[in-house]
Each structure stands twice: as C-alpha cells, then as structure tokens.
C-alpha cells in the first residue's frame, strides 16, 4: 500500500514536471518572433518563403527530371513522364 502511494506520487511528480516543461515551452514559443509592429521586414516580398514561384517551379521541374529525389520544398514533382 505504501509502495503504491509512492508510485502515485512519482507519477504525479512526473506529470507536473511534464506539464511545467510544456508550459515553459509554450511560453518560450510565444515569446519567439517579432511583435505585430515589427513585421515590416517580413512583409516584404523578398522575405516571403517563395517569392518567385515560377522560378522555383521551373527549377524543381528540372531537378525532378534529372535526379532521383523530389519534393522537400513542396509536393514531389509530378505531372510529367520525365522520371
């Protein structure tokens, strides 16, 4: 009985530890990144993740048809019988 109680306590402690770690992570995550009024640079085209989609599509298409790998940036290349 005593032993059971000990296990329970240990479980509770573990849970508390996990929860506090999660809370810590969440709060750390929430503090990452600029505030809304600091988004000036990110609003620019050159800082978007894919500023030239036609260029990226052409490059991906070429590499897809010349190499064994595909995908990564987006969906695996496709739509052509080139591989």
Partner 1 sequence: MQLKTSKPAGHIRDTLATLSLGLIAANAAISPAAAQQSTDNTDATPGEVTLTLPYFEVGSAYLSYAESGGRVRATEPSVDFSYHASNGGVLTLGFQEDSVSGATPNGAAPADVAQSFVTPVQVKTSAATSSGGTGTTTVTTGFGDDTNVSGNGGEGGEGGGGGTTTGGTTTGGTTTGGTTTGSTTTVTVTTASGGSTIISVPSGSGTGGTTAVLGRQYTVPANTLPMDRGFQDQRFAGNIGWSQPLGPLSLAGVTLSYSKEHDYSSISGSASVAKDFNDHNTTLSFAVNYSSATSTPFGGVPTPLTVMNPQWKTVASRKKSDMDLVLGLTEVLTRRWILQANLSYGHSSGYQNDPYRIISQVDGVTGEPVDYLYESRPGSRTRESFYIDNKIDFDWVIPEVALRYYHDNWGISSETADISARFKLYRSLYVLPNVRFYQQSAANFFHYYLVNGQSLPAYASSDIRLGKFTAVTLGAQIGFNVTDNSEIYARAQIYQQTGDAHPAGMIGQLQNQNMFSGIKASWMMVGYTWSFN
Q: Which of 49, 67, 46, 47 is nearest to 59 (CA)?
A: 67
Give the one residue of 10, 21, 24, 63 binding partner 1; rule: CB under 8 A: 63
Establish if 39 lies at the interface with partner 1 (CB under 8 A): yes
**Nearest residue (CB) to partner 1, 6 versus 26:** 26
Report which DSSP code applies to 82.
Answer: -
Taking contact as CB under 8 A, which single stretch among the options 1-9, 15-23, 48-56 is the one that binds partner 1?
A: 48-56
Give the C-alpha separation, 56 to 82, whole Å.
18
Tokens of 34: 């600029």
Which residue ranges make up the site for partner 1 (CB under 8 A)?
A: 29-30, 32-49, 52-55, 57-59, 61-63, 65-76, 78-83
């Amino acid at each position: 009985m005593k032993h059971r109680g000990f296990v329970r306590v240990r479980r509770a402690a573990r849970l508390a530890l996990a929860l506090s770690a999660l809370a810590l992570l969440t709060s750390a995550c929430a503090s990452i990144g600029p505030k809304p009024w600091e988004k000036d640079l990110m609003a620019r085209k050159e800082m978007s993740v894919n500023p030239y989609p036609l260029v990226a599509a052409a490059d991906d298409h070429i590499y897809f048809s010349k190499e064994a790998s595909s995908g990564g940036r987006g969906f695996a290349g496709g739509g052509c019988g080139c591989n």
